[in-house]
Amino acid sequence: MIAIAVNSSIVDSRRVPRRQVKLLSSGRFCLNSGRNSLFARTFCYKTIRRPQFKDSPQQKKPQREFPKQDVPLAKQISARIQATGPITVASYMKEILTNPSGGYYMSKDVFGREGDFITSPEVGQIFGEMVAIWILTEWRKIGSPKPLQLVELGPGRGTLAQDILRVLTQLGLSSPDLSVHLVEISPFMCQAQANRLCFTHDEVTDPQSKHHYAGETLSGVKIFWYRSLEDVPRNFSIFYAHEFFDALPVHKLERKDGIWKEVLVDLDPGKDDTFRFVMSRAETPASKVFTQLSGQFADQRDHIEFSLDALNVINQMADRLEENGGFSLIMDYGHNGDKSDTFRAFRQHQLHNPLENPGQADLTADVDFKQLKFAAEKSQKVITFGPIFQSDFLQRLGSDVRLKVLLENAKGDQKTDLETGYNLLTHPDKMGHRFKFFAIFPRVLESILQKLPLSGFTQ
């Protein structure tokens, strides 16, 4: 276990509403309306305060132009269906979330109080600290290979990366031994992450460059942005993803008379730009692929959500871990193959009809960790651990002790705020059991992990 030194009690400026957070039956956390009661993230080590150089070229923060939605997304999808017929739920979901001109993630901040949901890193610093401790513990266990690439998929606001970097740099990791590589498709979120993480940053205009944005932290750690995992340099890497897989498009399949058919999105007759679910009349490419794999993880379910994109990412990770070394940590809400219909939408912290207001609501589906485990292990290149409850992971790494230290240094309402946030992260009826942790390691490390059990995943 690696301890975090306590130097002082400083209130961080990132806040989310206290006592306004509720758990929807679906598992995602949203904010209730009510009085503006906030809880602060309290750091008990010296924080980095970035100087504000508004006119300095070193502090250049370009104002990026984002595509304007000339044609409403509903009309774009409607025209596509009219031209080619009903589309898969996966195609619909991809358009809604990532369409360049009107996609949900592409031009606005969707996280936190002003967005449609909150995430664990936004709740409190303990989450990011425990993830950082886990990364350091496992990295040192295998000999501290350098240089180290931290690769985050779907960094959100950059809050988790910020917390991890603070711990790593406090404990001695710095450039050139450490670099950060962020996979992000949203231009808006890319700039938001850069503003949070970097002292300087700018777009990369070289057409030969695989990264499209680059920056540097105040402590000198270099950060690079990519649109695809395939573009990230193939070096020793520690991959982590928090609420990334739940946003990947899913195919919805139903078994009818022993045959897997696909749920599709079609136009609702007689209504302009209005959609409905329909069933495919025959097998589709996705249902044919799934039929070949169904014996591995379908169990007795007659309704399955199946993400080809998720399986592709896992396959890429497995190949990289075997070839270049490293390990992966996946954190998300999901299940172990025991749920079926979880596809849903959120708008303004409320459940929303996923076929209404395209581009104005978040679309998501619970992660099927049984499918991820199957995809990772089928090649025999890697071994997997979990999924386990978020509460178990955090507490086994010492989150209770860390909370106690923070409380001893907290003042006034900070104590209540810390306890409220920690309860949200670990209570079984809140985030504690809704969110799962899943790890992937190259098979070559199996003997080491048998001698030195994986921290956080074992008692």
Q: What gap in Å lies between CA 12 and CA 417, rounded to an integer?
A: 12
Give the C-alpha distances (Å, rounded to integers) separating 30 from 22, 117, 186, 368: 6, 5, 22, 22
- What is the rounded distance in angstroms from the CA atom of residue 195 to the CA atom of residue 225? 13
Torsion angle of C-alpha atoms 282, 283, 285, 289, degrees rounded to 10: 180
Predicted TM-score (pTM) of this structure: 0.86
What single letter denotes the amino acid at residue 7? N
Domains of the chain: 10-67+102-250+307-451 (3.40.50.12710), 72-101+251-305 (no CATH)
Pick the closest to residue 127 from 242, 32, 7 (CA basis): 242
- Cα–Cα distance measured from residue 136 to residue 221, given in angstroms and rounded to the nearest whole number: 16
Residue at token pair 């923060």: 61
pLDDT, position 70: 59
The separation between CA 315 and the C-alpha centre of its own chain, rounded to angstroms, equals: 18
Which pair of tokens denotes residue 395? 């507490």
> What is d(CA 427, CA 403) in angstroms, rounded to the nearest whole number?
14
- Tell me what the pLDDT averaged over the chain comes to: 84
Q: Phi and psi at residue 245, in whole multiples of 5°?
A: -70, -30
Rg (CA), the chain: 22
Residues of the chain with pLDDT under 70: 1-70, 107-118, 297-299
* Terminal-residue alpha carbon distance, the chain: 13
What confidence score (pLDDT) does residue 325 get?
Answer: 98
